[in-house]
Structure 1
Amino acid sequence: MTETLMDEARKYWVYANNRSYDPLQSRARWNLTPVVNATVNALVERGIDRSWIQVGRDACLPGSFGLGKTRWDIVITKDETPLGAIEFTTLPGLSASKNLANRIHDLTSRAVSVRSHDHGGQQPLLGLFVMLEQGESIHVQPRLEEALDQFHNDEFYDEIAYTSYVDEGLREPKAGMTVQRFIDRFSRRLLARAVGPLEEIPPYLERYREVIEAARGVKKDYSLDRIPEKGGQAEVFQAVHKASGIPVAFKRRLSPGRKAASRMRDEIEIAGMLNGHPHAMPVLDFDAKRHWFVMPLADATAEEQTVHLKDPKQLHSMIKAVAAVLAEAHRHGWRHRDIKPSNILLLHGRWTLADWGTGRRPRGQTTFIGRTGAYIGTLGFAPPELSVKPHDAVPASDIYSLGRVAAWALTGEWPQANVPLLPTEEPWRSIVREATQHEVERRPQSIDEFLALIDREHDKHCS
């Protein structure tokens, strides 16, 4: 279906040149309709319900996203919740040089307006489809590509497609902004937001059997996307296991240093220890020197599921899943120390806990003195004790962070360090209050105590 979309984008310029006018100056924007329709068809082919998609006059984001009732070329909405919006922009060769700065300013303003406004705890995904006609100016394309890179780095637009029409052919100048990548990633992220947790759970990891059985720690067994998602210690690429064609995630550490190597080794080690636990993110393959490892490609993070997690039942399911895997890790002496929404992943209907790179090993097994440093965790989610003696983390430290995740999900507010954050409704208000006490000894001291607290408060307020 993306071949059809590419062909329509090429024919747009053929038609424009045959009409001998500059489309930027013409009001006949309707000639983009075939390109927009081909994009809609490609999204539908990948599972987006056609009834969610609005085009033309109906394609508007609510005024709560700024700029009044903002019109886009495509808007995807489910149950009155905006999931995403796509803007198409054309830059004809005759006027691209004159109008580039204005067009970049307009695109920036549209994205910033959406990013600076909240709507029920979640912002829509923003897509940008750029169609450039190369003219005689040698300055336009480098300036445009610099702006597109900035859009990506500043997270103004979640996905960008970039095509260039030259010598009667259509090209894709940047590997990380191809039309295929745009459609694949945008549709997958839309589905993660729209569908939520699955009702039926597939057999755990059966779909990765070929990857596991073929695992040999060889990087060339995987085809990696060019642009990774970067974290503090590592970068994660979408990848494909070449032999089976199965999509996976490829995590590679950024630093060659001993501390980074030890942290990646810990992630691989604890994945092996928790092997078979339904709520642990598994490691499918890794290299002998622990430079990288492969794991399943998650459907979404908890951060991308904010609309669903505002439902107390959905939140209850997620908290219990994370608590279950924490209980097993705690039993072996491990502490996670960085529980936050981006480390809780939805994998084929199961909530899983990932990223044990800053985890504390069982006492007596510290890798080397000074590895921990002065602070561990993420501000707002980390308990106070991790800013003083992070090596002394206890089960109640992870319970504090899990309580802050619950508060974040229900309030839609990002927690501030050491500032109380409580949901307004029971029973979660009481649960979060007990789990996030400033003094560590006043919290539940084990996962069993925490789960008992949840059950007790639910019985008290929901009977």
Structure 2
Amino acid sequence: MSQLGAEVAPGFHVVSLLAHGSRVDTYDVVDLARDCRAVLKVVRPDRAHEERVVDALRVEGTLLTTLSHPHLVRGYDLLEEPRPAVVLETVPGSTLAALVDDGAMSSRDTALVGRQLASVLGYLHRHGWLHLDVKPENVVVQEGRVVLIDLGVASRPGRLERAVGTEGYAAPEQAAGGTVGPAADVRGLGATLWECLTREAPGDAPDLDVLRGRGPLGDLVADCLRPDPSLRPSVREVAGRLDAVLAAPDRLRGWWSSRRRWRR
């Protein structure tokens, strides 16, 4: 790990270490060329010889510097020296995990989060990619705008070489290293919304009756968490049902409608 003020890559000076991961270190840096703060994800020195780790970061960097969506973190550059790294925009705000830790969210705010995530997931899917790690820690909320981050395990649809994602959020077919499609991200989206409403991670086999029958939003979240991917709604259907939730009076959204709203 690089120390405060050190040059972690040419032209990038460390402000702080944001995360020390199993494959990459993530830094808050000063980008001298752009004269601004940025985020730098760099392969750890002890993993730099592993082709799979390096390739995953290159895929993430290529996606984020090529694709552009209002709810997707923006990539600036993909570096190769001295170690592979991705330069990302700094997204001020709080992670959704931090907001949920502060209290369960109202149905309207939960639906707003879900609608924006459905938008960016649909965009990724139309470009032939799956995120495969949708969870509150990978969502940043900035004045009501939701930004999806961390495409570190993004993959094309099809059979996985190994299990990827985060336990409790990953779809069963994903956790088993099986064949995955857009339905895997729908499961991650449902797990994220479950946590917004209940303040608890759903786990691998949640009791769907906790939310089912408690309003259109609860029914939707339960449907997204179905074990069988063929029974989960499509991202397009999720978006449509969330639009209906947002258009409905509070009393029709669910029993949690009056819970805490986002702090602005």
Specify if TM > 0.5.
Answer: yes
Q: 1:309 to 1:353 in 2, by over 3 A?
A: farther
Helix, strand or coil at the partner of 1:361: coil
Q: What letter corresponds to residue 26 of structure 2 in structure 1?
A: V
The corresponding residue for 2:232 is: 443
Alignment of 1:254-403 (within 5 A): 254=44, 255-256=47-48, 257-275=50-68, 277-288=69-80, 291-298=84-91, 299-306=93-100, 307=102, 310-347=105-142, 350-361=145-156, 372-390=160-178, 392-403=179-190
Q: 1:311 & 1:232 partners in 2: Cα distance?
A: 34
Runs (4+) of structure 1 exceeding 6 A deviation are none
Residue of structure 2 equivalent to 1:434: 223
Which deviations, in whole Å up to 9, do the C-alpha atoms of 1:126-173 show, x marking residues without a partner? xxxxxxxxxxxxxxxxxxxxxxxxxxxxxxxxxxxxxxxxxxxxxxxx
The offset of 1:322, in angstroms, is: 1.2
Q: Does residue 232 of the first structure (1) align with residue 19 of the second (2)?
A: no
Instruction: For 1:351 and 1:309, locate their aligned partners in 2 and report how far apart those are by CA, in whole Å.
Output: 17
From 183, 202, 214, the counterpart of 1:415: 202
Instruction: Determine the structure 2 residue equivalent to 1:251.
Output: 41
> Do 2:103 and 2:199's aligned partners in 1 also have CA atoms closer than 8 Å?
no
Any conservation in 1 of the 2:107–2:253 contact (CA below 8 Å)? Answer: no
Residue 114 of structure 2 contacts residue 242 of structure 2 at CA under 8 Å; is this kept in 1?
Answer: no
Gap change, CA 1:457 and 1:301, over 3 Å in 2:
closer
Given the superposition, is the C-alpha separation of residues 309 and 224 from structure 1 closer, same or farther in structure 2, using an over 3 Å criterion? farther
Q: Kindly report which structure 2 residues correspond to 1:199-214, keeping only aligned pairs within 5 A, or say none.
A: none
- Whole-angstrom CA distance in 2 between matches of 1:427 and 1:389: 32
Cα distance change of structure 1 residues 374 and 225 upon mapping to structure 2, 3 Å threshold: same
5+ long unaligned stretches in structure 2: 255-264
Counterpart CA distance in 2 for 1:232 and 1:318 is 28
Distance in 2, matches of 1:322 and 1:294, equals 23
Contact 1:381 1:404 in 2 (8 A): yes
Contact 2:17 2:25 in 1 (8 A): no
Taking a change above 3 Å as real, the CA distance of residues 336 and 342 of structure 1, as seen in their structure-2 partners, is: same
State the alpha-carbon separation in 2 of the partners of residues 242 and 311 from structure 1. Answer: 42
- Would the alpha carbon gap of residues 450 and 236 (structure 1) be closer, same or farther in structure 2, given more than 3 Å must change? same
CA distance in 2, matches of 1:450, 1:304: 24
Q: Aligned to 2:42, what secondary structure does the other structure show?
A: strand
Aligned pairs for 1:72-87 (under 5 A) are none
Higher RCO structure (Cα 8 Å, ≥6 apart)? 2
Give the match for residue 222 of structure 1. Answer: 12
Which residue type is aligned with residue 78 of structure 2? Answer: F
Label 1:453 to 1:349 Cα distance change in 2 as closer, same or farther (>3 A).
closer
For each residue in 1:154-207, what CA deviation from the matched residue of structure 2 results, as whole angstroms up to 9, or x when unmatched?
A: xxxxxxxxxxxxxxxxxxxxx77xxxxxxxxxxxxxxxxxxxxxxxxxxxxxxx
Q: Matched residue of 2:29: which SS?
A: strand
Contact 1:360–1:393 at 8 Å: present in 2 too? no
Equivalent in the alignment of 2:31: 241
Counterpart of 1:89 in structure 2 is none
CA shift in 2, pair 1:267/1:428, >3 Å = same
Q: Which has the larger radius of gyration?
A: 1
Contact (CA 8 Å) 1:315, 1:406: kept in 2 or not? yes
Same amino acid, percent of matched pairs: 24
Contact 1:337 1:359 in 2 (8 A): yes
Conserved 8 A contact 1:274-1:328:
no
More helix by share: 1
- Deviation digits for residues 327-353 of structure 1, max 9, x if unmatched? 111112211111111111235653111
Conserved 8 A contact 1:410-1:423: no
Give, in whole Å, the separation in 2 of the partners of 1:265 and 1:243.
21
Tell me the TM-score normalised to structure 2 length.
0.80
| CA spacing shift, 1:285–1:308, aligned 2, 3 Å | farther
Deviates more, 1:240-249 or 1:295-304: 240-249
Cα distance per residue 1:31-67 (max 9 Å; x no partner): xxxxxxxxxxxxxxxxxxxxxxxxxxxxxxxxxxxxx
Contact 1:271 1:283 (8 Å CA) reproduced: yes
Deviation for aligned residue 1:244: 5.1
**Paired residue total:** 238
Structure 1 residue identity aligned to 2:98? E
Provide the secondary structure at the position in 2 that maps to 1:284.
strand
Distance 1:294 1:448, change over 3 A: same
Q: State the distance in 1 between where 2:30 and 2:189 align.
A: 32
Change in 2 beyond 3 A, CA 1:349/1:296? farther
Matching residue's letter, 2:154: G
Q: CA deviation at 1:325?
A: 1.0
Deviation at 1:243, TM superposition (A): 4.8
